Amino acid sequence: MTILQSVTPSPLPNERSAWEKDRDHVLHPYTDFSSFTATGSQIIEKAEGMYVTDSTGRRLLDGIAGLWCVNIGHGRREMADAIARQVMDMDYYNPFGASANVPAAELGARLADLSPGNLNHVYYSCGGSTANDAAIRIVHFYFAMRGKPGKRKIISRNNAYHGATYVAAALTGIHGTKYGFAQVGEDFVHHISAADCYARPAGMTEEAYCDFLVGEFEMRIDQLGPQNVAAFIAEPIMGAGGVLVAPKGYHKRMQAVCRRHDILYIADEVVTAFGRLGEWFASDAIFETQPDILVSAKGITSGYIPLGATLISDEIYDVISRPQCEGGVFSMGLTYSGHPVACAAALTNIAIMEREKLLPHAAKTGAYFQLRAQSLLTHDIVGDVRGRGLMLGIDLVADKATKQALPACEKAAETIFRGCVERGVIVRPVGNRIILSPPLIVSEAECDTIISAISEAIAAFTASRCG
């Protein structure tokens, strides 16, 4: 998160404060270092329930669940106990070969039960990026094992976010983020249009737009040659790309195209799983799709500790588990694959969600949140408000009729974000959008507080433009 305050008291005279040490030594993701070195960070020191407290003592309502992840809310003693207990029982041991641990095995079985269809096998990693990398390696290995090593190409979508390791970054369709880096994966990753209903051409129905998107996908497969295309990857609702909800029936139709061409369908549910849309997983329950591979992270432990999970179908498992050659092994290993402490945290996280019925709560409160947010459309600069469950995106525009974007130099989203913080609420500015994803424990009253803060901050920004 960007900076709000540059004053943190030093613990001792002559000793640098945490704020200074952070500024001097820590490389933050997605940060403009030119301004960061001047302003430093906002340091969050405490977190409890729906709230975080910064180093100046300011208490803020967390409208983004840390970063789409603290689904059960902050500071749960039960999570701390589960983590501590696992550290004392068995902190870590080698997961390679035939060495296992109890929490990883228990979690594997739980994930198989909770996930759609026959996604009965899990490859554990350390977060969403590594889980997506694993998915692509498994796809390539799978087709190689089927005697189709040329079937390697992955089709992703513009504006998609799949992570920051090199292959996950290649899958990502926010192309500006790739500047200055090697174009790893450009020989096998291809992008098609995002399903962005708000940006569709004026006068085009949602149905016709869906036809266009599916047609474009088919055309790209034709261009690349179906014999070369291995997988399609999509977030059920695009998250960082702007909370883009696809037209009705889109995912189902895209999957049907995949099936026709022996192309695997990868659902990146790093954000949408574990209750954010009121379900364990959104793919089948909401979008009627049955992925061949499902990628999860974030909400799987509610962010208390890092964990990624790549779930694969029985069919894929049957193929990749055959030895490549006499004595051959599945040579894809991470030291922390199935880390017992992370898996114990995930099991407790799932138990809390079940006991407190957080999924139905998120579905109900999410519906209220979406409805309440529609009131923001009364502002001249709010072009679109959309989402589902506890994922919300707000598009800021200069002109509602033409949907023309606000000039970047006005820093509208950033200014509105600051305005919200002044009102005690954290939101997330992304380009010309405001994005929200509160913890699943959010109440209707807290939804009101979030929307009111945004509304007031937008009004203040609009007034400053006119003035």
Ligand X SMILES: Cc1ncc(COP(=O)(O)O)c(C=O)c1O
Residues that bind ligand X (CB under 6 A): 68, 127-129, 132, 161-163, 235, 239-240, 268, 270-271, 297
* H-assigned helices in 225-274: 250-260
Cβ-based nearer residue to ligand X, 312 or 397: 312
Cβ-based nearer residue to ligand X, 235 or 279: 235
**Residue 122 dihedral angles phi and psi, to the nearest 5°:** -125, 140
Cβ-based nearer residue to ligand X, 54 or 235: 235
Task: Give least dist CB 424 to ligand X, A.
Answer: 25
- Please report the sign of the dihedral spanned by the C-alpha atoms of residue 20, residue 24, residue 29, residue 32: positive
Task: Give least dist CB 241 to ligand X, A.
Answer: 9
Tokens of 7: 């004053």
- Running DSSP on this structure, what letter comes out for residue 201? P
Residue 43, SS3 per DSSP: coil
Cα 283-237-443 angle, rounded to 5 deg: 95
Residue 312, SS3 per DSSP: strand
Q: Render 171-185 in DSSP notation, one character per residue.
A: H---GGGGTTS--TT
**Residue 389 dihedral angles phi and psi, to the nearest 5°:** 55, -130
Please give the Cα distance from 298 to 278 (Å, whole number): 15
Task: Give least dist CB 125 to ligand X, A.
Answer: 9
Which amino acid is residue 381, in one-letter code?
I
Cβ-based nearer residue to ligand X, 108 or 241: 241
Task: Give least dist CB 430 to ligand X, A.
Answer: 11
Cβ-based nearer residue to ligand X, 212 or 336: 336
Task: Give least dist CB 17 to ligand X, A.
Answer: 28
Cβ-based nearer residue to ligand X, 11 or 176: 176
Q: Using CB atoms, what's the residue nearest to ligand X? A: 128
Cβ-based nearer residue to ligand X, 40 or 239: 239
Residue 315, SS3 per DSSP: helix
Task: Give least dist CB 391 to ligand X, A.
Answer: 11
Nearest residue to 251 via CA among 187, 157, 352: 157
Task: Give least dist CB 308 to ligand X, A.
Answer: 7
